[in-house]
Amino acid sequence: MAEYLIVPAGGDYYSVTSPEGRTYSVNLAAETCDCADYLYRGQERPCKHVEMVKRLLERGVIAHRLTKKAAA
C-alpha cells in the first residue's frame, strides 16, 4: 500500500510527500494544492492530497497547529 508523509508546514499549510518522493503543498483552509490533478480539476473537487489531510485531521492523527499569535 502506498504511503504518504503528511507534515504540518505552518499556518494552514501541510506538506504531503508521495511514495514516489514528490512533495505537494496543501492549504487546508482554502482547500488548494499545487499538484497537477488539482490544477486541472481543483475547481470541481479537491484532489486526493487535500482529502488526505482532511481525513487525518478528522481522525486526530495530525494536529492542526495555529501559528497566529504563537509568540503571545
Shortest Å, Cβ 54 to Zn ion: 12
Distance of CA 23 to the CA centre of its chain: 10
Looking at 14, 28, 32, 47, which residue binds Zn ion (CB under 5 A)? 47
Q: Give kind and range of the element (H or E) at residue 53.
A: helix 48-58
Q: From 6-14, 20-28, 51-59, 60-68, give the range in contact with Zn ion by CB under 5 A.
A: 20-28
CA–CA separation, 64 and 72 (whole Å): 18
The least CB distance from residue 69 to Zn ion, in Å, is 29
**DSSP H/E element including 11:** none
Binding residues for Zn ion, rule: CB under 5 A, are 24, 33, 35, 38, 47, 49
